[in-house]
């Protein structure tokens, strides 16, 4: 039988993960894995950190790289939004 927590019990959300896999980093910025690979290869996205044999992207570095991408506020009339 499952135990039910009372409304008064304390619950803490886990912290946001900082390290992202290739697929997670791509999904995080809204593109496919192959596009993310291209963005990484041409320097628009950061290279991964190596943790033993694993490649991990730093979410904060991905955020900064995403902020530097062209587009955004100046793009007023986007036909795809209609």
3-class state of residue 57 by DSSP? strand
Higher pLDDT residue, 31 or 15? 31
Residue 79 is given by DSSP the state G
Single pTM value for the model:
0.70
Residue 5: the pLDDT is: 56
22-76 pLDDT tens trace: 999 999 999 999 999 999 999 999 999 999 999 999 999 999 999 999 986 655 6
Residue 77: the pLDDT is: 66
Residue 48: the pLDDT is: 98
3-class state of residue 55 by DSSP? strand
pLDDT at 78 > cutoff 90: no
3-class state of residue 70 by DSSP? coil
């Amino acid at each position: 039988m499952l135990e039910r927590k009372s409304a008064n019990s304390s619950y803490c959300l886990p912290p946001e993960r900082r390290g992202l896999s290739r697929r997670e980093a791509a999904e995080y910025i809204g593109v496919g894995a192959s596009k993310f690979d291209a963005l990484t290869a041409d320097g628009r996205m950061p290279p991964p950190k190596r943790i033993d044999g694993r490649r991990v992207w730093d979410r904060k570095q991905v955020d900064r790289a995403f902020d530097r991408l062209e587009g955004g506020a100046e793009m007023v009339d986007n036909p795809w939004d209609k």
